[in-house]
Chain A
Amino acid sequence: MRGLERKDFILLAFVTAIALLAPIILNPFPADSPLAQFNAGYPDLMQRFAIYGIFAVGFNILFGLTGYLSFGHAAFLGIGSYAAVWMFKLLTMNVLPAVLLSVLLSGAFALIIGFISLRRSGIYFSILTLAFAQMSYALAYSVLTPITNGETGLQLSLNDPRVLDPVNTSGSLPFPSLFGIKMNAVAEIEALGRVYQFPAGYYFCAVIFLIAFYLSMRIFRSPFGLMLRAVKTNQTRMAYTGLNPRPYTLAAFVISGMYAGLAGGLLAAMDPLAGAERMQWTASGEVVLMTILGGVGTLLGPILGAGFIKYFENIFSKINDNVLHQWFSFLPDGMEDFVVTILHPFVGKGWHLTLGVLFMLVVIFLPGGLIEGFQRIGRLFRRRPKAGKDDPEHHPKPAPHVAE
């Protein structure tokens, strides 16, 4: 089936089903129930799931396969966004050329940054990529103001040329679209006490996400992917096998840079503005967290991690003290205040704390990420393999996350 083994085909079908049905699956609670705020099925968040999924899947091609930990991938996210917004300003509001330029431009930048950074490995590589990303951030924030519009961020305006589009006489800003379908168009269906929203923008992102995921799957199973895993395991043996690790790592770096650029372009397509803060080191760190939280080097892990972090960021941060009081109103007064005080630092603005605790638990107890947790649960339900197959003397050393 298009070059996929049975197992992978099932995985792809599973991910496709989830992606296409997300507006329904992510809306499990009726609109009037107190749990409705846990629903994630609204356009903005679903788009983030898909876009950051692409970002993390691409990052995983570099980090998961070759073990090179880049701390500067947000630079490509930002470059992608700027490229897309410029395309909207100069050429047309159609999202396809914008996204295409995002991918190409970030690929070109990745080639330059990768060529220099990949002269070193391990922590030095990470520091070099971080330095490049911070440099890009600083440039975008100040020096390159004519191109990036500095701290205000790059926005559309009414007197942009947009040479391919008909003259805009409406007096309001146009919105990115795909051959006439506006990216912010939403079809709403009311059923079962819930309002299901099917946003055009989300489906555009989802389709691109599925293509990106399929490609990453092919790369994982290809001879190229095998060579990348060889880079991670033993570069000495690779050199003495007649292979040059450098072009392999550079290719992986450029591919993952292009994925990041694609994600950046889509962010701009969903909301046509680009700011320098998108390149900040926190954004680079976020994708590292996503990948490690979900499971480095696994196909599904990074997507899971991206979903988790974006869910926390958008849902947990909305829980405030009033909501907590509502939940625990059944407790006696003193108890209620006590419980709310205990939980207070973990919700609302404190969602980072919850995420931090979760991250620590995962790294300590599930070094393979959340995906390992699911695999363990799955194994509990499956028949145990025959005893004696596992040789306790010869347990392989777990692979290091960072190339040594």
Chain B
Amino acid sequence: MGILEIKNVSKSFGGLKALNDVNLSVQENTVHAIIGPNGAGKSTLLNCLVGKLIPDTGSVTFEGKSLLGRKPFEINQLGVSRVFQTPEIFGDLTVLENVMIPCFAKRDGVFRMHALETVLREAEIREKAESVLSDMGMADKLHMHSASLSRGDKRRLEMAMCLAQEPKLLLLDEPTAGMARADTNRTIDLLKDIQASRNITMVIIEHDMHVVFSLAERITVMAQGTPIVEDVPENIKGHPKVQEAYLGGAH
């Protein structure tokens, strides 16, 4: 029984079947990659996990609790964080404030009105945010306006925001899209460190095979809304079905 269980999930948009009877089980403390050609339904599946989309049929359970019908913030409070393909950060705020917000969310829950405290005097929250940021190598950018960060830094900031929540499951949607090779390698190292030190289960959607094979312990290949193969990385590379999906059938 995995930490995340997806059973018989289907989702259609009009006549298009984006997900067709998906079954997937993610084991605790593993890095599970989902790969597949464009339009395979990877992002739709991710959106079904975080509450942005509701599947037509099937069930999604996280630690035995059903995620269906819960709002994104409720799912997040259960311990599921998400890194977006284009970084979603609080652009108007400073880097430190960006990370303090998830720290407050972790401490206070969905809503609490602390109207007469001073943000910068919340020493505990501040220290936590600063330590996460320095783990991310952003200790020198604490008071920068986060909208003025470079794209790579924005991604790292978003990851810091997710880590500050101490999630149990981290969903990463193409964490290295649009990055230079050097940055990609740095991100891979970072994710490896996080995985080793924090015991976080990760689900990664990625096109870059270099990233996938450096990180993943298990890989699911999707095509046309259905997982076609699930195995350890060594067995994926030469798998005939995978080559068929990517190359459009090797005759």
Contacts and interface: CB of A to CB of B under 8 A. Distances in A.
A399 B72 CA distance: 25
A386 interface: no
* Interface size range of chain B in the complex: 35 or more
A226 to B, nearest CB: 5
* Interface size range of chain A in the complex: 35 or more
Contacts of B81: 240
B118 interface: yes
Contacts of A396: 91-92, 145, 147-148
A247 interface: yes
A193 interface: no
A243 B161 CA distance: 13
Contacts of A394: 148-150
Nearest to B105: A242
A397 B93 CA distance: 12
Contact of B118 (A222, A241, A242, A243): A222
A266 to B, nearest CB: 22
B104 interface: yes
A234 B119 contact: no
Given A229-B93, A241-B102, A5 B118 contact: yes
A229 B113 CA distance: 14
A395 B148 contact: yes
A237 to B, nearest CB: 4
A343 interface: no
Most buried by A among B50, B72, B105, B113: B113
Given A230-B101, A394-B148, A395-B148, A237 B114 contact: no
B111 A233 contact: no
B29 to A, nearest CB: 22
A224 interface: yes
Interface string A200-236: 0000000000000000001101111111011011101
Contacts of A240: 50, 72-73, 76, 81-82, 84, 88
Most buried by A among B90, B117, B120: B90
Contacts of B110: 242-244, 247
Given A242-B73, A394-B150, A230 B90 contact: yes
B92 A224 contact: no
Contacts of A395: 148
A230 B89 CA distance: 9
Nearest to A248: B111
A218 B116 contact: yes
Given A234-B89, A240-B88, A241-B105, A223 B145 contact: no
A37 B234 CA distance: 88
B194 to A, nearest CB: 18
Interface in A243-257: 243-244, 247-248, 251
Given A242-B76, A242-B165, A244-B111, A227 B101 contact: yes
A229 B115 contact: no
Interface string B142-180: 000101111000000000010001000000000000000
Contacts of A229: 90, 92-93, 97
A241 B161 CA distance: 8
A247 B112 CA distance: 9
B186 interface: no
Most buried by A among B71, B89, B101: B101
Contacts of A244: 71, 73, 110-111
Contact of A243 (B100, B105, B116): B105
Given A240-B82, A394-B149, A224 B101 contact: no
Contacts of A3: 116-118, 121
A391 interface: yes
Contacts of B97: 226, 229
A251 B165 CA distance: 24
Interface string B110-147: 11011111111110000000000000000000000101
A240 B51 CA distance: 10
A259 to B, nearest CB: 13
B7 interface: no
Nearest to B153: A394
Nearest to A245: B73
A239 interface: yes
A236 B92 CA distance: 14
B88 A237 contact: yes
A232 B92 CA distance: 9
22 contacts: A3-B117, A5-B118, A218-B115, A219-B115, A222-B117, A223-B108, A223-B119, A226-B97, A229-B90, A232-B92, A233-B93, A237-B88, A237-B90, A239-B72, A239-B73, A240-B84, A241-B73, A241-B105, A242-B102, A243-B110, A244-B73, A394-B148
Given A241-B105, A242-B77, 14 more contacts: A218-B116, A226-B119, A227-B104, A229-B93, A240-B81, A241-B73, A241-B76, A242-B110, A242-B165, A243-B73, A247-B110, A396-B147, A397-B147, A399-B92
